[in-house]
Structure 1
Amino acid sequence: MSHRNWLTAGVLCTVAAVIFAAGAFFYFQVPSAADGRAMILPVDPAPLVAVTKSGERSFSIEVADTEAEREAGLMFREEMAGDHGMLFVFEQTRDVDFWMKNTPMPLDLIFVGQDGRIRAIKQGEPQSEAVISPGEPVRFVLELKAGTAAREGIADGDLLRHPAISGASGPGMPPSDKGDSPNVNSN
């Protein structure tokens, strides 16, 4: 009888080890900043639209709205299409600081208030640990390839439209310059 218990215990330990190994394998296949691989999020189905003085500009974006996604951002990303970017969504308007350590691409960092209006546009130097900050609290940051903001005529005060931005705006926010009704938080 004791031989059978040892055999059962051995089989159970082997099964547990296989399950653990498989779980670890799949867990570690997800790229993260810690392992030196670029994180690539799904492209959001809705384009982000920048309303500029010379017209609307549309971008496909990845939305980084969790702490882990915001921390990884575009680190280790070697290239990105000129009409692509990453939108960082914070839970509330606050002071934010960015840096470019482990980011090989030069970037435009577009700091955006809760109302969707651009507050500041800063340039990020590849691999730099210099702090990049707008100098005021913001709710969103859009990262694009360096030079995109200037090339597309995107400037301070311009409006960015995307469901992640309109969904985060609170009651009493001013309407957009297109005559839209104010954005209302649905929570």
Structure 2
Amino acid sequence: MPDGAGEALVTPAPGCEMDEVRLRWGEGQARFSVEIADDAAERSQGLMHRKSMARSAGMLFIYPKPGHVSFWMRNTLIPLDMIFLDERGVVQRVHSNAIPLDETPISGGPGIFAVLEINGGLARAFGIAPGAQMLHPAFGSAAAWPCAGAGG
């Protein structure tokens, strides 16, 4: 059924849920439980004022359309890795260990549709790098790793 924005709502395949992301690359995979920030207020608040976050958790920022996005760490108390993805769910850039409370802009570059924030150092520890693919319903049927192929 249409959601009012002209897009059809799709029931996620098993293993493809709104509150979870999976990443795959070469021989590696990772899974994180995520909070979704998909409107201006949620994206503005982000992970500010939190003193900790579970190792397996993160926040997925989703934008209405691909563009140039930039983040900073104002009022953010924990170091974060920022994983910038295009509209197909392919990692374009990873910024490691963003410094708490630093207001220096962190650019994801052009064509960014989503950003995954996880605890600082985890991207490197797992081996998440440009070219990795994310499984999440936000990327739709044109995703590099579409939900329809999520089984198993």
Which TM-score bucket, shorter chain as reference?
0.7 to 0.9
Deviation at 1:151?
Answer: 0.9
- Relative distance call for 1:94 and 1:47 in structure 2 (3 A) is same
Aligned 1:65-76 pairs, distance under 5 A: 65-76=38-49
Q: Hey, which of these two has a bigger chunk of helix by percent?
A: 1
1:47 aligned onto 2:20: yes
CA drift at 1:164: 2.2
The structure whose Rg is larger is 1
Aligned length, in residue pairs: 133
CA RMSD of aligned residues (A): 2.3
1:80-103, CA deviations, whole angstroms, 9 ceiling, x for partnerless residues?
Answer: 011100000000001111000100
Whether the 8 Å contact between 1:54 and 1:153 is mirrored in structure 2 is no
CA spacing shift, 1:66–1:174, aligned 2, 3 Å? closer
Aligned residue number for residue 88 of structure 2:
115
Structure 1 runs of 4+ aligned residues shifted over 3 Å read 173-177
Give deviations 1:37-77, integer Å, cap 9, x for gaps. Answer: xxxxxxx7642100122232111000001110000000011
Provide TM-score, normalisation by structure 1.
0.65
3-state SS in 1 of match to 2:62: strand
More strand by share: 2
1:60 to 29, 33, 37: 33
- Opposite residue 137 of structure 1, the aligned amino acid is G
Aligned residues: percent identity?
A: 37
Residue 77 (1) aligns with residue 50 (2): yes
